[in-house]
Amino acid sequence: MKVSIRFKISGLIVVLVFLLMGGVGYAIINLVRDSFLEEIKLRALILARNISFSARDPLIENDNLPLFNLVHGALRHEGSVYSYILDTAGRTAASPAVLMPSEVGEDSMEIHLANSFWQKELTGAIEIPEKKVDDNQYEAKIIEVPGWLKNVYASDTIGPNEQPKPAPEPSWTDIYELAVPVVIKGVEGSVTRKKMGEVHVGIDLTSLQQTSRRIQMVVGGIAIVGIVIGILGAFGLGALLIRPLKALVKGVAEIARGNFDYRVRKRTNDEIGDLTTAFNVMAKDLKDKVLIEDAFKRYVSHQVADEILEDPDGFAKSLKGERRQITAFFADIRSFTTISEQLTPEEVVSFLNYYLTEMTTIIFNNEGTIDKFMGDCIMAVFGAPVMHGDDVYKAVKSGVEIQKKIEALNKERIARGEQDIHVGIGINYGEAIVGNVGSTQRLEYTVIGDSVNTASRIQGLAQSGEIVVTHAVYQEVKDFFEFLPMDPVKVKGKAKPLAVWKIKVPIHTSETYPLRTPENKDKPKPEQEGPKPFGFPSPQPE
């Protein structure tokens, strides 16, 4: 499944924003809650110590009325839910004072005090451990609403023999209870401390919880807004980053289609901008490379050019030639000197380029290699640098097609009142040395050997419009073309006369030239069938 970089970047930013806002919100909520809790703790500690200080003498004298007033007065402090005093035996020294909702109104509060019912033992939610008695000693923790508090009665007039009636369920959830010891000093000058009892106070944490919820809502709202802004910003940033990348992708597609003139506009001055610059440089280099390759192929055959471009170093090192069976091909424009005398130098070059281009195209179409141009003569090779198995056939086929092309061009020239031209072609098949000839500064891919020289010399035997081949060529393609025997000729460099053949190529009658293919080569001779048009299938080598 393809996932866009834009969504990856956006998703990463959203996750980071979510974690950041969540972490900050969590830290803020805990910080505020701890601050409120510390304030409640300090308030409860001050209240409990004040009661503890005032309860010393009443506890010594076992005077319950002052103790009652102390626990009753404690409820007038903000947030106080209950308070009670325990003696050293863990019994209530004063009836617990509890703050409960009034039936009069939602906001009004009423104090309900149990009398003798609460004179029994009351175990505190927390205990002060036995250790060295100290005025600064205290214990505190957050507790759930204790069970005894849930059984507080809605009336403060319950008699000692009456059964209590359950009060409405208290609305509190958590309570912060704090206990401090009631300590008295020993005789004057003594450091001894004696524990006379404990003061317990309970502070409602509803306000803390409400404040925490409000903070959670505020922080949550801020977090949601931040996340939304983060999402929008992430998609905006993703689009901003992806835009130049999309332009680069389009540029790569254009280059792949061969449009090396395409350039990507640099929009940013960062790494993507550097990538854009590098892309444009690459596109320019590719264009230059294509231009160089195109120009290079104009000077050498495309087979040689492809071989060089595929492995330049290896080709440069292959100075040593190799022996190979090749077909050497020579084509020369007859009476070119006479024609050139009637033309300006510019017209001569234009004339040559036109006819050589026509012949070169035919040779290339038959997978031949142009070895060199020698004035008005073309030297071509079939079977080097790439062998195809039917190179002799393709060489002869190229010669026939060139003569047909020249014939068609002559009809046009004669129709325009211009002088017709003719080409003589010589073809030989044999062994030659194939390879790079020259120096490390300049090389020429060529073929050399006796077979090449022979092809050049029999080309001189060809009259206008003729294709002369050696016996070796005749043996290879005699089943596909009409040949006429010629008298053996004495050529330079040969001790014995050379057997040569001439391909039957009629002038001005190519439309009726007989067709011979591998399918009909065994049919009766042309004179029994009538005239046949040209055709050039590719035979398989035996």
Q: Rounded mean pLDDT of 323-328?
A: 93
| 3-state SS, residue 479 | coil
Whether the pTM exceeds 0.85: the reply is: no
Per-residue exposure over 84-113, b if at least 16 CB sit within 10 Å of its own CB, e if not: bbbbeeeebbbbbbbbbbeeeeeeeeeebb
Across residues 278-304, what is the average pLDDT? 77
Express each pLDDT in 422-440 by its tens digit.
Answer: 999 999 999 999 887 777 6
Q: From the CB of residue 348, how many other CB atoms can be counted at a distance below 10 Å? A: 16
When comparing pLDDT for 454 and 13, which is higher?
454
Query: Residues 33-86: pLDDT tens digits?
Result: 788 888 888 888 888 888 888 888 888 888 878 888 888 888 788 777 778 888
What is the predicted pLDDT for the residue at 342?
Answer: 82
Q: What confidence score (pLDDT) does residue 377 get? A: 92
DSSP-assigned letters across all residues of 412-436: HHHHTTPPP-EEEEEEEEEEEEEEE
* CATH assignment, 312-529: 3.30.70.1230
Alpha-carbon distance of 68 to 111, in angstroms, equals 12
Which helix H or strand E contains 38, and what residues bound it?
A: helix 5-54
For 438-486, the pLDDT digits (tens) are 776 777 778 999 999 999 999 998 988 899 999 999 999 999 999 999 9
**Weakest-pLDDT range from 52-66, 252-266, 291-305, 394-408:** 291-305
Domains 47-213 and 312-529 share a fold: no
CATH number assigned to the domain covering 47-213: 3.30.450
Asked if the model's pLDDT at residue 523 lies above 70, the reply is no
Q: How many CA atoms lie within 13 A of 481 on its CB side?
A: 30
pLDDT, mean of residues 170-185? 75
Are the C-beta atoms of 500 and 458 separated by less than 8 Å?
A: yes
Q: What per-residue confidence (pLDDT) applies to 423?
A: 92
Kindly provide the b/e burial profile for residues 281-315, where b requires at least 16 CB atoms within 10 angstroms of the residue's own CB.
eebeeebeeeeeeeeebeebbebbbebbeeeeeeb
For residue range 360-399, what is the model confidence (pLDDT) as tens digits? 999 988 989 888 888 889 999 999 887 888 999 999 999 9
What's the rounded Cα separation, in Å, for the pair 193 and 326?
A: 124
Between the ranges 87-96, 147-156, 528-537, where is the mean pLDDT highest? 87-96
Q: What is the domain partition of the chain in residue ranges?
A: 47-213, 259-298, 312-529
Farthest-apart Cα atoms in the chain, separation: 160
Q: Is the pLDDT of residue 104 over 90?
A: no
Contact (CB, 8 A) for 158 and 112: no
pLDDT at residue 541, rounded to an integer: 39
Strand 467-470 relative to strand 483-485, pairing: unpaired
pLDDT value of position 35: 83
Banded model confidence at residue 163, pLDDT cuts 50, 70, 90? low
Please list the helix, strand and coil fractions of the chain in percent, rounded to the nearest 5, in that order. 45, 20, 35
